[in-house]
A and B are shown apart, each in its own frame.
Chain A
Amino acid sequence: MKISRSWLQSYVDLASFPDDEISRAITFLGFEVEAVLHTGAPRLDSVFVGEVLTREKHPNADKLSVCSVDVGPQHGTKTIVCGAQNYKVGDRVPVALPGAVLPGNFEIKQSKIRGQSSDGMMCSGRELGVGEDHAGLLILTDRPAVGLPINEVLPSADTVFDIEVTPNRPDCLSHLGIARELAAFFKRELCYPEIRFTANSVSAGPVESELLHSVRVESQQDCPLYTAYSIAGVKIGPSPGWMQDRLRAIGLRPINNVVDVGNYVLHEYGQPVHTFDAANLRGRQIVVRPAGAGEAMTTLDGKERSMDPSMLVIADAERSVAVAGIMGGMDSGISDGTVDLVLEVAIFRRQSVRATSRRLGLSSDASYRYERGVDPHSLQEAAHRTLDLILDTAGGKVVGKLHRVGSDVPWQREILLHPEFVNERLGFPVPFEEMKASLESLELSITREETVFETNAVQWTVSIPSWRDDLDRPIDLVEEILRLHGTDRIPSAVVTSPGLLAEDDPLVIFNRKATEYLVGHDFHECVNYTLRSRKEQEDAGGAVEDLALSNPFVEDQSHLRASLIGGLLESLKLNQARGVVVSRLAEIGRTFLKEGGQLWECATVGFLVAEPVGERNWKSREFDDFYSIKHHLAAVASFAGIDLGRQPLTSVTSPESGWQPGHACVAGLLAHGWTASFGLLGLSAVKSLGIEGKVYAGVLAVLPEKISADTKRRRYKPLSIHPPALRDLAVVVDDSTASDEVRKALAKVAREAVGNAFQLESLQVFDVYKGQGVPEGKKSLAFSLVFRADGRTLTDDEVNGAFQKLQDRLAAIPGYVLRK
């Protein structure tokens, strides 16, 4: 919103404050200053309106002319050399005479140009500081009187603050509102405009001659208060120069006196007003009603609007003439021939205006204010101000009935404030006298001061004016007092922090550990968008229908992600396309998986290891394989309390999964709190994305609520210092038998064989063999077993005995053959 400095000056004397001080004051009152603009002409002494009498070519320069210019009786006719081309004899232009100082400290002197003396300079707009137009002289098309000082012709200099008003302060969407704040800030008096109109000023007349017979409001809820005034016999013409200057300064185009007054009052009081040409109100009536289905109207901006019954319109007996609170209709507005007016000053419900404005894609200064809230208790004052200004600028008289439909609930609000409470909340002392002065300066008057008997505390009764609907509780007044005290004066202090027995969320700890592990293993941590394309989720086997947003903003970000792999592949592809060799990427973030008919938000860790395509190295290193991926996944799973070694792993067989069948596996169930997949990504799927080389990947998704803090304190177990006994054995099984199945069977029979006599300390696969000596379709798995006893050295005999026993039992398992 734009606020003109010279306009503010009408209500509060800020003349002694430079622009940047006012800007700072606005800022520290709580309104962001987005820009400070300068408009109009600065003070220009010795610059006058002149008329070009003759124009001759300069004898010594092709592009220059020598002109005689009439600068009025006081200064006479001057000879001026000019380089501009856009003027002709008879034009009136600004003329700077010797002694004038133009913006940029450019002093005009008597001079000689190519041998021709020049008594001054004819000026462009830019040279005068009134615009950027430098194409030529500023031609004064209104033909002001020759010899007039130029400042009487040009709009005067002004500073415009473009400020952002927070939604809690609709009272500040006006010059008076901002003036009130600045008056309080600078401790100056605020002068409201003088209102001359009273109900008694109305000329009564016969009812038949009334311009407006009736006002009917059909939607009381959306229009709680509607007032209308009739003004007869106006003369449409330009509004006064001072009003035009102010409107121009804040970016509005002057139209005519009546329309300009409406805009002026809106920006003065924040109360939207609207004027109709009474002749265009058919049936001399106003009906505030919902629009009919499909009802059409051409609004003042020239666009045809199709409406529906959710929208409120102002109508006459036959048709709608305005979209309530937003914009008037084209054919009911003021024209040059308008003689009689109907002035509307009303309150429309915020939500209704907002919804209509959204639906029509139509907003205006009026709708902006209605959406944020207009004070119904200031309505009458704004209405009377409008009438004053219309009568002043367009003549005419207020006639007939003053229509008023609806009512405003009488306003009264008081807040009981203990000034000590303010200091308790602030944490530093503000003197009570300062508090009082601050409240009073904002027109928050203290109507009563007393001492509460029980507590002996001082208590103030603070009366809240109608336009400060945002103030309701003592804490709200703390903010007012602090604003005027100055938020830049809050004293500095040290942080005091009593200890709390709180630890980081287990999910946070999990994420941190996983990130540290992966980065420690040379992965580059990535961050990808959570919202992704439908296709990517389909390709990854995600629950596409459930993942969809109801209102996506762009097509390729329409769905939640079901996996982190898609984003990582995109990052891989981007790097490859840019010629950057990349191998290890990881991301830690949320994914959304379906289970039991609903989606679950999962904490997810994903990583991929890609063949470093394009890498050249003087010494080659072996590339990772499935088992290195398994290692990483197991490590990450352990941070969530999952022991992957104890989990069943199922080989992927379906190519639709995105994984390469036979080279990837899945583990876990979301119903049990987690799920993982890892291995080689489908070769053709990866290739179809335009990615070169093999890509291994792993992804672990865990329900956040299943990750619990690991608070278990570990207990030490004594170690045996006696030597171990080592034995190896090999067992031949079907090629399709999982090694883990054999290992588990072996561990079981080994423990049985050892009993309580000593322990099987470890059991590991150390060889997998197929080929000569092993039948077709079979494989040999070799295990090493380590036995140890507490407190003594094992004898060969007891170990051999147990080893024989376990071999016998193992050999007895169908499909297992011991390899000799």
Chain B
Amino acid sequence: MEQTLAALLSKAHSELSLLKSRVEFEAAKARFVGPNGELTALMKQMGAVPKEQRPAMGRLINEAKARLQTELEGALARIGEAEITAQLGPAIDPTLPSPDRGPGTYHPLTQVREEMCRILRKVGFAVADGPEVETEYTCFDALNTPADHPARDAQDTFYFPKQARFGNVSKHTPGERYLLRTHTSSVQIRTMLKGPPPIRIVSPGRVYRRDATDATHSANFHQLECLYVDRNVTVKDLKALLDYIFASLLGKDTKTRFRPHYFGYTEPSFEVDLSARHLPKVNKEWIEIGGCGMVDPIVFDGVGYDSKVWTGYAFGMGLERLAMLLFGIDDIRYFYQNDLRFLRQFA
């Protein structure tokens, strides 16, 4: 009996070590410890063993059973490990590059626009939008630009033929011509015509000038304008906004200054200069960055706001110019070529 058990264990040891799969394992397990298994058969012979030998035999069988159980568990663990190895495949080389696409990129103009909008949203400006095809009224008349102003000339502004019709660009007077807006100030007018004050909006968008394209001019470019209308808005408030914008954008040590200027739709009007450290390719102390002013009462009267009650300010700037300053880009045309080597630099 003892020998039989030893032989059985030895056989089990060699057979179990060859097992490759769980199916084989289950079959082998049945062969040894199943109802018809070899060990089970031996255990059944216990009845025939003389009573005085039973404890010794019982101990032997239990020992063998325990060892067989260990063998089985070991075999099962080996199979499990082999399965995992097969599932994993060979080890990776962590230094190989990913074959997947590189990440997408936001256009630098979008990045600058969104950064400005984030800064302005923090102080309560909501982002407004309006059509790029505009009317003479919204783009010029409502902004106090006289009919003979050079900016309105066909030399400087793109017009559409008299018969052109745009379904979703509303006209103020039937006779006026459609044009491509020359500034985003038209959005101010549309916003004011839509609802009562107070208003605090920022309107970024594409604008058009009839200009030759070169390193600093482009047939279309982007602007961003702020409009704030409320009671008792002052020049000091306007300056505070500009200081806040550029300190947010370029750091606390950034300074702005106002120079008197002229725009038809603001009074007083200013040009805004900026002085900041760490701007690439800038070798002047002050750089012109935009225009601003207090909304002219004529503009309020035109949109039906009582200019005795309401006051406000407006600020506008070119986004390409800002992006060029921030990133040190020296040619506006790069923004419109979409060379991936350019776009990826701002990821």
Q: Which residues of A contact B (CB under 8 A)?
A: 27-30, 32, 166-169, 350-351, 354, 358, 424-428, 473, 475-476, 478-479, 482-483, 487-488, 490-500, 502-505, 507-508, 512, 515, 518-531, 546, 548-554, 557, 560, 571, 574-575, 578, 580, 582-586, 589-590, 592, 595-601, 617-621, 703-705
Contacts and interface: CB of A to CB of B under 8 A. Distances in A.
Contact of A503 (B107, B126, B261): B126
A529 B132 CA distance: 13
Contacts, number: 250
B206 A590 contact: yes
A490 B258 contact: yes
Contacts of A167: 149, 262
Contact of A553 (B121, B168, B212, B262): B212
Contact of A527 (B109, B149, B161, B199): B109
Max chain A C-beta neighbours (<10 A), residue from B123, B150, B160, B294: B160
A194 B199 CA distance: 54
A597 B132 CA distance: 20
Given A424-B234, A426-B235, A166 B262 contact: yes
B47 interface: no
A634 B290 CA distance: 40
A703 B168 contact: yes
B217 to A, nearest CB: 11
A620 B101 CA distance: 11
Given A29-B260, A479-B269, A508-B127, 18 more contacts: A30-B262, A166-B262, A424-B234, A427-B236, A479-B267, A483-B268, A487-B270, A491-B236, A493-B243, A498-B124, A524-B105, A525-B343, A527-B109, A530-B206, A531-B158, A546-B164, A554-B219, A571-B337
A493 B239 contact: yes
A599 B127 contact: no
A557 B219 contact: yes
Interface string B126-154: 11110111000000000000001110011
Contacts of A546: 164-165
Given A27-B259, A583-B101, A530 B220 contact: yes
Which interface residue of B104, B133, B257, B261 has the most chain A CB atoms within 10 A?
Answer: B104
Interface of B: 96-97, 99-107, 109-110, 114, 121, 123-124, 126-129, 131-133, 148-150, 153-155, 158-161, 164-169, 180, 198-201, 206, 208, 210-213, 218-220, 230, 232, 234-237, 239-241, 243-244, 257-262, 267-271, 294, 296-297, 311, 335-341, 343-344
A598 B165 contact: yes
B243 A492 contact: yes
A350 B148 contact: yes
A16 to B, nearest CB: 24
Contacts of B241: 495
B107 A527 contact: yes
Given A350-B148, A505-B127, A704-B168, A551 B159 contact: yes
Q: Which 10 A-B residue pairs are closest in the complex by CB-CB distance?
A: A427-B234, A427-B236, A30-B260, A479-B268, A166-B262, A571-B338, A598-B165, A519-B104, A497-B124, A502-B126
A495 B239 contact: no
Nearest to B131: A601
Contacts of A426: 234-236
B338 A490 contact: no
Given A426-B234, A503-B126, A495 B294 contact: no
A525 B110 contact: yes
A171 to B, nearest CB: 13
B296 A584 contact: no
A574 B338 contact: yes
A493 B240 contact: yes
A524 B104 contact: yes
B198 A498 contact: yes
A425 B124 contact: no
A526 B334 CA distance: 11
A487 B133 contact: no
Nearest to A581: B340
Nearest to A355: B148
Residue of A168, A427, A618 ringed by the most chain B CB atoms within 10 A: A427
Contacts of B219: 529, 531, 553-554, 557
A363 to B, nearest CB: 12
A368 to B, nearest CB: 12
Contacts of A358: 153, 155
A566 to B, nearest CB: 13
Contacts of B257: 487-488
A580 B340 CA distance: 7
Contacts of A522: 101-104
Nearest to B162: A550
Contacts of B167: 595-596, 598-600
Contacts of B335: 527
Residue among B128, B155, B237, B267 with most chain A CB within 10 A = B267
A529 B239 contact: no
B260 to A, nearest CB: 3
B13 to A, nearest CB: 43
A492 to B, nearest CB: 6
Which of A29, A508, A600 has the most B CB atoms < 10 Å from its CB?
Answer: A508
B91 to A, nearest CB: 15
Contacts of A600: 166-168
A427 B166 contact: no
Contacts of B337: 571, 574
Nearest to A350: B148
22 contacts: A32-B271, A168-B262, A425-B234, A425-B235, A428-B235, A428-B236, A475-B294, A483-B260, A483-B268, A487-B260, A491-B236, A491-B239, A495-B241, A500-B126, A502-B199, A505-B126, A515-B106, A519-B103, A527-B336, A531-B220, A553-B219, A598-B166
